Amino acid sequence: MMLMLLLSGIAMASIAVAVAPEDLRYPAAPRSATVDEYHGEKVADPYRPLEDLDALATRAWIEAQNALTNAYLEGAPRRPAIRERLTALWNYERYTTPFQEGGRYFYGYNSGLQNQNVVYTTESIAEPGKVLIDPNALSEDGTVALAGLAPSKDGKRVAYAIADAGSDWITWKVRDVETGTDLPDEIRWSKFSGAEWAPDGSGFFYGRFPEPREGDDLKAANYYQKVYYHRLGTPQSEDRLVWKDDQHKDWRADATVTDDGAYLILTLGKGTDEKYRILWRPLGDEAAEPRHLVGDFDYDYTFIDNEGPWLYFRTDRGAARKRVIAINVNHPEETAWREIIPEAAETLEEVSRVGSKLIATYLKDAYTQVKVFDLDGKLERTVELPGIGTASGFRGDRKSTETFYAFTSFTRPTTIYRYDLATGESTVFKAPQVGFDPEAFETRQVFYHSKDGTRVPMFLVHKKGLKTGKETPCLLYGYGGFNIPITPSFSVANLVWLEMGGVLAVANLRGGGEYGKEWHYAGTKLRKQNVFDDFIAAAEWLISNGVTSTPKLAIEGRSNGGLLVGACMTQRPELFGAALPGVGVLDMLRFHKFTIGWAWIDDYGSSDDPEEYRALRAYSPLHNVRPTCYPPTLITTADHDDRVYPAHSFKFAAALQAAQRCDNPILIRVETRAGHGAGKPTAKIIEEAADKLAFLTRALEMEPAGP
């Protein structure tokens, strides 16, 4: 049987001609008789062998699937033109928002088609910078990426993290800024952690997990995180343990050094919810045990900065859409708290201290508003933004007189602005030049009602003056989870879709962070079906309002959005013309058994709980595949995805292919030496975007005009 699977993989890999839908021959997936029991119910898991990524049968199946997908895409005549247009548009200069440390500026730059951004530094923002870190020189294929950057307080050294092939595992190194050479220091087995320097530059705090067993680094669950202090010039084995909790394997901590060097703040979390426990100690007292200040994993307490013994936090305690409070370390009782910025009608998203100001970023119907307050919470001004879009950045310290922010929208490439704290004036620092006319497109926001009557916003973007109808192709995108808002942003791939005459629809579903805590919780655990109902209602609104029709309507989502697409296409397969589930969480009964999946129980619940199991079983995409006609589907994942284990996509693809009862293709594209998405090389991003758009041209039978 093994030999047959290997031979079939080799045979499929030799395909070189385009495949018609009716000629699709899906590779046989390895199977087993595995049956699990959940609370008295037996559930078969026939494709369990695909969870072994390194098994010969799995590798052969991946090769065969990739060959089949490529052969099908060869039948999309616009594929080369789409790739060419994507490449041309992507070839523009891009900058990240500069920030200052120790009298130096640091920023990222990409000349256009470089696989990874290059880090530059300069003493004057008006002068050209010099290259500090070029990740493109670290690998031939561009798959080694920068995953973190932390300059010391004097700006003389930077701790920087690199990730290989898209993995969440990072390795910290230290570079001398003046000479551009690396020190011998190296920190391994860090994940989901930054680096926080001591004020004197002698070393930094970081978080790490225990070293996994050989071969388990991309699969095993990550528990028992610890925080250490690394002193420069010493081996990692001598790093000083700062915090651990052997009684709670799911607790983890992020270390923050206050800007004045007075305190070490430890923000403890244990899932994905913004519910924290705050510990603190005087930074200089290494022997002191961190003391509890506030929180017991019940509310958000996101540390902003301090003013003497007063610690400023963003919180949802007493404010569903969040506010800013100050807590005195010597009198932490709630009766002594000070409210600095009260809750507003808009959702408070981020707060930073820059100079003597608090800069607060709000969301109003999923687009950004920015307000500037003094340290007592008095509103000083509103930052005038270029339009409806997304602003981010606003980094600085208490000595800063300026800050930088980025602004983007669906048709505006990310532009970097310098903001003068004294005058409140924004000036363009770097504006990209992309080869298209943004005035040729329009964006509008509509509101529709979900199944239970909830009012949901949705952005619609298309060519100006486009007359939509049943023949108009439409791509509906959503996410709906983990308190993450989906806000306007520029995408070259989406721009090419718009140029091809398509409509882009972005629905702001429950489960996200658009409207605060209640909006988020309304799409979690036993209420997760609300998210799918919101997305289905968006599709129905687009059809009933003459924007598109089922044969021309595609749906797309990634990660939690991949779950969204998988659930909706299995619940309503007749509603959609195509489906693009990317790096999705698709096996809802076993997601918590891989890497960091256990942390998602905050949003999803767990099959270990009887009531939550029933809810998960009711919508789990893998477990709701049945023999029927599914829309044309292209599943995308990557072999080094240690965030959402790729077996989710493998098993879902195998189940769909076996259940398909019409000629619509069910395909999977497995990227090699890539992960969940962060750090993916530009070349791989372009190739994947070209393949997805080419797939849609075939699936939706789009006219040959366009790229």
284-293 contacts, C-beta under 8 A, 24 or more apart: 286/240, 290/242, 290/243, 290/264, 290/266, 293/327, 293/329, 293/332
Q: How far apart are CA 46 and CA 655, in angstroms?
A: 9
Query: CA 7 to CA 64: how far, in whole Å?
Result: 10
Q: Is 676 a catalytic residue?
A: yes
Q: Which of 559, 607, 620, 649 is flagged as catalytic? A: 559
CA geometry: angle 331, 335, 337, nearest 5 deg: 65
User: Rounded to an integer, what distance in angstroms lies between the CA atom of residue 338 and that of residue 298?
Assistant: 19
Please report where in the chains the tokens 């119910």 appear, as a residue: 41
Task: Judge whether 386 and 465 are in contact, CB under 8 Å.
Answer: no
Residue 559 known to be catalytic: yes
Q: Are 313 and 352 in contact (CB under 8 A)?
A: no
Using an 8 Å Cβ cutoff, are 150 and 99 in contact?
no
- The residues, ordered by sequence, that sit 6+ positions from 207 with a Cβ below 8 Å of its Cβ are 190, 191, 192, 193, 225, 226, 227, 228, 252, 253, 254, 255
Spell out the SS3 assignment of 666-690.
EEEEEECCCCCCCCCCHHHHHHHHH
Beta bridge partners of 572: none
Query: What count of other Cβ atoms lies within 10 Å of the Cβ of residue 141?
Result: 13
Structure tokens at 270: 């244990």
Q: Which residues contact 33 (CB under 8 A, 6 or more apart)?
A: 46
* Local structure of residue 361 (DSSP, 8 states): E
Phi, psi of 663 (to 5 degrees): -80, -5
* CA geometry: angle 533, 535, 539, nearest 5 deg: 115
- Cα–Cα nearest to 687, from 136, 17, 87: 87
481 within 8 A of 497, measured Cβ to Cβ: no
Residue 219, sorted as left (phi over 0), alpha (psi -120 to 50) or beta, turns out to be alpha
Give, rounded to a whole angstrom, the gap between the first and last alpha carbons of the chain. Answer: 45
Question: Which member of 520, 623, 648, 676 is catalytic?
Answer: 676
At 684, list the tokens. 């791989």
The size of the chain, in residues, is: 707
Tally of CA atoms within 13 A in the half-sphere of 577 that contains its CB: 26
- What strands, in cross-sheet order, belong to the sheet with 277-282? 252-257, 263-269, 277-282, 291-294
Q: How far, in whole angstroms, is CA 524 from its chain's centroid?
A: 18
Are residues 573 and 656 in contact, defined by beta-carbon separation less than 8 angstroms? Answer: no
Query: What is d(CA 563, CA 559) in angstroms, rounded to the nearest whole number?
Result: 7
Q: What are phi and psi of 271, to 5 degrees?
A: -165, -150
The residue behind tokens 């046989």 is 28
**Would the CA dihedral through 445, 448, 454, 456 be positive or negative?**
negative
DSSP strand E in 547-671: where?
553-558, 578-582, 633-638, 666-671
Residues involved in catalysis: 559, 676
